């Protein structure tokens, strides 16, 4: 009985974790803070992966995207006036980004093992959404 209950609990928890990791294209509710954190996490995960290669330009580009998305997430959350200080906002955003990054990195490893390409599945879809959004945001600030 305990084994059956434990199995059911694990299935529910596991399915919830993977249910959350669907493409940003497919999300019904696009909370802007969550999207910015997810984009930051994707960029960080890719930057970490690229740090193991000899492609320093691409690594630096994704690090810059990560930093930009963290800044955007902080600005969005600050505007919601949920936290009293910038430190609390930063703490919230960074903790969420790091949690997401761990899952994304794990999934990228699985994608690589199963298909030979780490940047596939929802990660590739997300980066398409994130790159287009970031380019739009950057062009608005440059005009």
Please write the tens of the pLDDT for every residue from 24-78.
878 776 788 999 999 999 999 999 999 988 889 999 999 999 999 999 999 999 9
Q: CB of 44 within 8 A of CB of 101?
A: yes
Closest CA to 93 of 104, 105, 82, 103: 82
Whether 5 is covered by a domain: the verdict is no
Tell how far CA 16 is from the center of its chain.
16
pLDDT of residue 29: 66
Whether 50 is covered by a domain: the verdict is yes
Whether 14 is covered by a domain: the verdict is no
pLDDT of residue 99: 96
Q: Which domain holds residue 95?
A: 32-142
pLDDT at 17 exceeding the cut of 90: no
User: What is the rounded average pLDDT of the residues 120-141?
Assistant: 88
Q: CB of 62 within 8 A of CB of 134?
A: no
pLDDT of residue 142: 65
Whether 98 is covered by a domain: the verdict is yes
More confident residue, 11 or 23: 23
Best-predicted range by mean pLDDT among 13-17, 24-28, 95-99?
95-99
The structure's pTM equals 0.80
Closest CA to 90 of 74, 79, 68: 74
Whether 111 is covered by a domain: the verdict is yes
pLDDT at 111 exceeding the cut of 60: yes
Q: State the average pLDDT for the chain.
A: 83
CA distance 119 to 111: 7
Whether 22 is covered by a domain: the verdict is no
Whether 6 is covered by a domain: the verdict is no
Number of domains in the chain: 1
Whether 45 is covered by a domain: the verdict is yes
CA distance 15 to 143: 44
């Amino acid at each position: 009985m305990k084994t059956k209950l434990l199995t059911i609990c694990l299935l529910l928890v596991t399915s919830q974790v993977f249910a959350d990791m669907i493409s940003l294209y497919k999300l019904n509710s696009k909370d802007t803070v969550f999207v910015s954190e997810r984009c930051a996490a994707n960029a960080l995960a890719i930057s970490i992966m690229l740090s193991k290669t000899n492609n320093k330009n691409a690594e630096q580009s994704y690090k810059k995207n990560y930093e930009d998305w963290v800044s955007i997430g902080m600005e969005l959350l600050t505007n919601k006036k949920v936290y009293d200080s910038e430190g609390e906002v930063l703490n919230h955003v960074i903790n969420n980004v790091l949690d997401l990054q761990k899952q994304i990195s794990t999934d990228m490893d699985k994608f690589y093992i199963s298909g030979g390409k780490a940047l596939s599945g929802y990660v590739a879809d997300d980066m398409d959404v994130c790159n287009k959004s970031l380019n739009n945001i950057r062009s608005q600030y440059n005009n």
